[in-house]
């Protein structure tokens, strides 16, 4: 019993007790001329608990195009289909949101000097990431 009490005392404090499944809304994509607009971009970023500018930077680099964020939606130069955007968001979640140790989404990004780390609030793990 002492060992179990000692193990509990070493767990990180303030572990989130989020119940339910981690779900990110599907992107609502409209193509207007030579531009692609993700209508619910802010809602997607809020669900992932990530800064929209960071997600936008990742998507624009992966798509190889210019992009801008106007407060709730993202506008990309060029025509991109909904499944392309959705697959890139899933890639972002896998690399920059989900903890590789415990597979939970209760994480946050920490930048130290030039390095980017993923700190898990659930298990306390710290993983290095490739820069965005």
Mean pLDDT of successive 10-residue segments in the chain (132 residues)?
79 56 87 92 91 93 93 92 93 91 88 89 86 82
Instruction: Say if residue 36 is in the same domain as residue 91.
Output: yes
Asked if residue 84 is part of any domain, the answer here is yes
Instruction: Say if residue 105 is in the same domain as residue 77.
Output: no
At residue 42, the pLDDT reads 93
At residue 71, the pLDDT reads 87
At residue 17, the pLDDT reads 47
Give the chain's domain count.
2
Instruction: Say if residue 126 is in the same domain as residue 76.
Output: no
Instruction: Say if residue 63 is in the same domain as residue 84.
Output: yes
Three-class secondary structure of residue 69 per DSSP: strand
Instruction: Say if residue 124 is in the same domain as residue 80.
Output: no
At residue 84, the pLDDT reads 92
Question: Residues near 97 by Cβ (< 8 Å), separated by ≥ 6?
Answer: 48, 49, 50, 105, 107
pTM above 0.75, yes or no: yes
**Beta strand pairing status for 29-32 and 126-129?**
unpaired
At residue 26, the pLDDT reads 92
Instruction: Say if residue 106 is in the same domain as residue 70.
Output: no
User: Could you tell me the residue range of the domain that residue 125 belongs to?
Assistant: 101-132
């Amino acid at each position: 019993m002492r060992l179990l009490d000692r193990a509990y005392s070493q767990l990180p404090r303030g572990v989130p007790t989020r119940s339910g499944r981690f779900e990110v809304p599907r992107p609502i994509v409209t193509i207007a001329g030579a531009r692609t607009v993700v209508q619910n971009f802010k809602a997607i970023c809020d669900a992932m608990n990530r800064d929209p500018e960071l997600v936008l930077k990742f998507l624009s680099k992966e798509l190889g195009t210019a992009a801008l964020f106007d407060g709730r939606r993202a506008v990309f130069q060029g025509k991109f289909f909904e499944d392309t955007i959705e697959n890139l968001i899933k890639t972002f979640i896998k690399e920059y949101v989900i903890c590789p140790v415990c597979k939970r989404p209760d994480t946050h990004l920490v930048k130290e000097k030039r390095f980017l780390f993923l700190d898990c609030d659930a298990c306390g793990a710290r993983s290095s990431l490739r820069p965005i």
